[in-house]
Amino acid sequence: MIFAANFKMNHTRASTKAYLDALNQKLASKRSEDRVFIFPPSTALDHYDGDFTIGAQNAYPEKNGAFTGEIGLDQLDEFGIKTILIGHSERRDILGEDQALIAQKFSYFKSKGFEIIYCIGEALEVREEGEDTVMVHLLSQFKGIDLAYEKLIIAYEPIWAIGTGRSAKVEEIASTHSTLKKHFDRPLLYGGSVKPANIKEITAIEGVDGVLVGSASLEVESFTEMIFC
């Protein structure tokens, strides 16, 4: 099982270090087959020792250059970062990243051998149109994405369930994951208001290979409770 924590615009360098120190102590007894990913804000990227993988929430698809406010391969290489989150709905919908830019990022970081957690998801109005419409929308988000890439992990996050406290129903997750799995043979995570109260029922769903956790991962006790569920 994969457990990925996306801190988004939360935590500082100091609080991230304290979090990871505490997490590492708890992970000493985790299941050997489980993998743990942490995506801190870019200001907290660093070399950290532990039984977890540190990834970048975002980066520009260049080594360096005149891209104000961005980080690139040089900055990631400094800390040995080889994992990145691409396609998150907040970058698509709030920050305006279109599929062409997302695919460009994917191709660039694929060429550099990064492990990529690639996010897809639909808005509530799409979900309300029915499963067929949902799948057309989700599959459109794979345009320009190499689904055979061996270092690809996919995360399905219904946008209407992110940060709302409302997770998708078990039946909705199971159906969507089952249909998606017909199109690729890569690990598939679920994200969207995952928390200690629902982690067991979500990870028990066939076709769910792990979770991408937002707000419930910000406290180390909450996140480790999910890892050891």
Query: Among the residues of the chain, which ranges form H helices?
Result: 13-26, 73-78, 89-93, 99-111, 124-127, 131-140, 170-180, 199-203, 220-227
Answer yes or no: is 106 a known binding residue. no
Answer yes or no: is 8 a known binding residue. yes
Point out which residues pair with 116 in neighbouring strands.
84, 152
Record the tokens describing residue 9, joined without a space: 């615009």
Q: Any idea which residue has 């980066």 for tokens?
A: 59
Whole-angstrom Cα distance, residue 99 to residue 81? 24
Answer yes or no: is 112 a known binding residue. no
Record the tokens describing residue 37, joined without a space: 């990913």
Radius of gyration of the chain (CA): 17
Answer yes or no: is 228 a known binding residue. no
Answer yes or no: is 24 a known binding residue. no
Record the tokens describing residue 163, joined without a space: 């940060």
CB 189 within 8 A of CB 156: yes
Phi, psi dihedrals of residue 215, rounded to the nearest 5°: -60, -35
Q: Any idea which residue has 């935590």 for tokens?
A: 11
Catalytic center residues: 88, 157
Whole-angstrom Cα distance, residue 71 to residue 113? 17
Binding site, annotated residues: 6-8, 163, 193
Binding site, annotated residues for substrate: 6-8, 163, 193
